[in-house]
Structure formats: structure tokens, C-alpha cells
Amino acid sequence: MYDFNTIIDRAGTGSIKLDAAPEPVKGSCFVPLTIADMEFATAPAITRAIQRAAEHGIYGYTYADNAYFNAVKSWQSSRHCWDVFPEWLTTTAGVVSALGIAVRSFTEPGEGVIIQPPVYPPFASSVLNNGRRLVENPLLFENGGYKMDYANLERKCTEPDVKLMLLCSPHNPVGRVWSREELARVADICHRNGVIVVSDEIHNDLIMPGNTHTVFAKLPNALDNCIVCTAVSKTFNLAGLSCSNIFIPNKQLRERFSKRARNESGGCVPYFARAATIAAYTEGAEWLDSLITTVDNNFKLMYRFVEEHLPELSVIRAEGTYLAWMDMRSLGLDNDALEALMLKGYLALDEGYIFGTNGGGFERWNLAMPTELLHGALERLEAVVRSQRD
């Protein structure tokens, strides 16, 4: 019913993925598999809402009014069984912006902030660019899957200057949808040690069949000790509208965060983002379900292809996100050589090392694209890996 097959040409639209792709992919007929936006048009209801908003002609300052909040609330309730209240909500110009605001609101220069690499690069830069100390609790990679290192987390949390943890849930790039039990252990450790948790849940709607996302704030001891970051941007391919919904149930934390957010970005909801969010959250559920089926089929295609054609490589089984994490360490290449090999096959991917500790030797693939494009990319992968073998 929805179209996830048409290949849409984005060249010349100022797309970072297309127009700023590395050579020789830039300008070629091959679509990059980098930055996390999708090669699918958003839900038709959202496009119509934006068209209606455009026809109005006045694009003034807009805010999170009742219509906006009610749409957000009903989505959180129906998709995540989470009851949210208007006073909890602060909007920011994206989740990365919220990470920086949180770091500046809840820590002083020089204090420690925990991250769990390999992880989305702005986690580290939000800490370092604000002059805070990066404290790492690297994920453990065992039996082909990732888990958290609770003993090390406990040790890091007891360091006296550690005040904040940036949690990626679901986790980009390894694709874990953390279970309730795993998150409950994090909530418990952080609560006991007075470490506030920023739970970046931007991928919360992109959950593959058989998995369930747990909102961090719903865990015991978490409600008063967390900041939950959500957005329509990943779910509905609306990243260019720069808007996210940040929930902070604790009044004191909220006041510190929202004051800074207002100072730094004015507290508006961008005009088109307001229209798009209302449409997404009231009319977008069916489209999202079809998107998830499409992405899940792409994951399965990739697993099958790699098993059959490239058994020396492996793909970590993704529970959520539309990002695949491929282990290419068996090729024995350093970061530069691996990147050069991929580009030789016209494969623009996100290099594992940019995700920090233990990311080297992996590649992150964005599978939110028509299956035909993914299939072509996998065939190019096979060809370059063969050329390397021979």
C-alpha cells in the first residue's frame, strides 16, 4: 500500500548523504549508505500536512500548543504505553542539541560524563566540546552480540566527579534494543550513585519484530533521575525539520534544562515541524508498520547474502534501528585500507572507528533504502572483498 520501492533522486537537494558523499561515490549513480536518514519519502499524510502548512503563506513562530502536545501524548501512550504530561516536555532543535544542553546543565567543566562506545559520535563530542571529561564504559562484544559491562559501569559511577551518563537506547550503531532488565540495572546503578541519565531514545519507534523498547523513565528509580529524548525525525524521515521532544519528569532537572534550552534556542517548535509532528503522530502508525517490515526484510536480505557469499564477514543481528553493524575485522585491514577498499566498490559507509573505542574494523550500513539499491550494494561488496582475496 505504501511505496518503499521507488528510487528517489536526491542529488542537488543539498543532502549531506548525497551531495557531500566521498569521492568517487559523489556524482556516481550509487547511493551512499551513510548518515541516518532514509531513501524513502515520508508518510503521505505528513507530506499533505506540510503542503497545507506551506499554502498558508505565513511561517511565523510556533510552539508546542495543545494540538501538538496531544499528538505527542497519544503516540507515547499508544506506541510506548507511556503517560506523559505537558509540563514534562521541552522541545529542542534536535536530539544532538539536547545532549549538549544536558551536558552543560547537569555538569560543570572538567566533570565526568559516561558513554558506552562504540556509539553515535556526537555522544563523545557533546562531552569533549563542552570541556567535560569523557568516561567510557565500552560495550562488551561476546558470542556475536553486545551487552553492557555493569561492573565497570558501577566503578565509573563511583568516581566522585562523574555526574551524568549518556545512554543510547536503542543503541546506534550496534542495533541493541536493551531489555527492561538491562535498563533496570543501569537505572539502579546510576540512581544509587547520583548519576543522572540522559536516555537518547530517538530510534525508539524503529523496533524490529520480536523486540520491545522500554522507556527509561518507566523503570524503578528512573523517573526522577532521567531525561528522555525522542523525535519524529528518525521514525518518519523528517531530520531536516530539526525538532525533538525532550521529557523531564523531575521538576528541578527540568527547570535547569529548559531554562538553558530557551536561552540557547528560543523554545519554538519550527512551523513545518509542528505540522509534520501532528500528522505523523496522529496518522502515521500504519506507514511506520510498513516501513518496519521493509527494513526488517532488508536486514534479512543482508544476513542471507553475507552468510552465502561472504562467510568470512558477519553482521550483528539488529533488534532495532535501520542501521546494520558489519564485522569486517577478518579482512585484516587498518582503518584507511578498509575505507579505501569500500570506496573502490563505490560503497560509502560509516566507518566503524568514528564510533570510538572498539569500533575499528566494523562498518555501519544504513538499510533504509529500496531493496534493489541494497542488493546492488551487497553485490559490489562481494566484488571488492573477492578482489582483495585474489
Which residues bind to ligand PLP, rule: CB under 6 A?
Answer: 36, 94-97, 120, 168, 172, 200, 202, 231, 233, 239, 244
Give me the least distance between CB of 99 and ligand PLP, in Å please: 7
Which is closer to ligand PLP, CB of 64 or CB of 313?
64
Determine the residue with CB nearest ligand PLP. 94
Which is closer to ligand PLP, CB of 73 or CB of 364?
364
Give me the least distance between CB of 202 and ligand PLP, in Å please: 4
d(CA 134, CA 356): 11
Give me the least distance between CB of 95 and ligand PLP, in Å please: 4
213: nearest Cα among 246, 177, 248 = 177
Which is closer to ligand PLP, CB of 169 or CB of 385?
169
Task: Tell me the Ramachandran region of residue 361: left when phi exceeds 0, alpha when psi lies from -120 to 50, beta otherwise.
Answer: left
Give me the least distance between CB of 174 and ligand PLP, in Å please: 11
Which is closer to ligand PLP, CB of 169 or CB of 358?
169
Give me the least distance between CB of 290 and ligand PLP, in Å please: 21
**HEC profile for the chain?**
CCCCCCCCCCCCCCCHHHHCCCCCCCCCCCCCCCCCCCCCCCCHHHHHHHHHHHHHCCCCCCCCCHHHHHHHHHHHHHHHCCCCCHHHEEEECCHHHHHHHHHHHHCCCCCEEEECCCCCCHHHHHHHCCCCEEEECCCEEECCEEECCHHHHHHHHHCCCEEEEEEECCCCCCCCCCCHHHHHHHHHHHHHCCCEEEEECCCCCCECCCCCCCCHHHCCCCHHHEEEEECCHHHHCCHHHCCEEEECCCHHHHHHHHHHHHHHHCCCCCHHHHHHHHHHHHHCHHHHHHHHHHHHHHHHHHHHHHHHHCCCCEECCCCECCEEEEECHHHCCCHHHHHHHHHHCCCCCEEHHHHCCCCCCEEEEECCCCHHHHHHHHHHHHHHHHHHHC
Which is closer to ligand PLP, CB of 42 or CB of 244?
244
Which is closer to ligand PLP, CB of 38 or CB of 168?
168
Give me the least distance between CB of 115 and ligand PLP, in Å please: 11
Give me the least distance between CB of 116 and ligand PLP, in Å please: 12
Q: How many whole angstroms from its chain centre is CA 126?
A: 15
Which is closer to ligand PLP, CB of 16 or CB of 383?
16
Which is closer to ligand PLP, CB of 339 or CB of 350?
350
Give me the least distance between CB of 136 and ligand PLP, in Å please: 17
Give me the least distance between CB of 234 and ligand PLP, in Å please: 6
Which is closer to ligand PLP, CB of 298 or CB of 341?
298
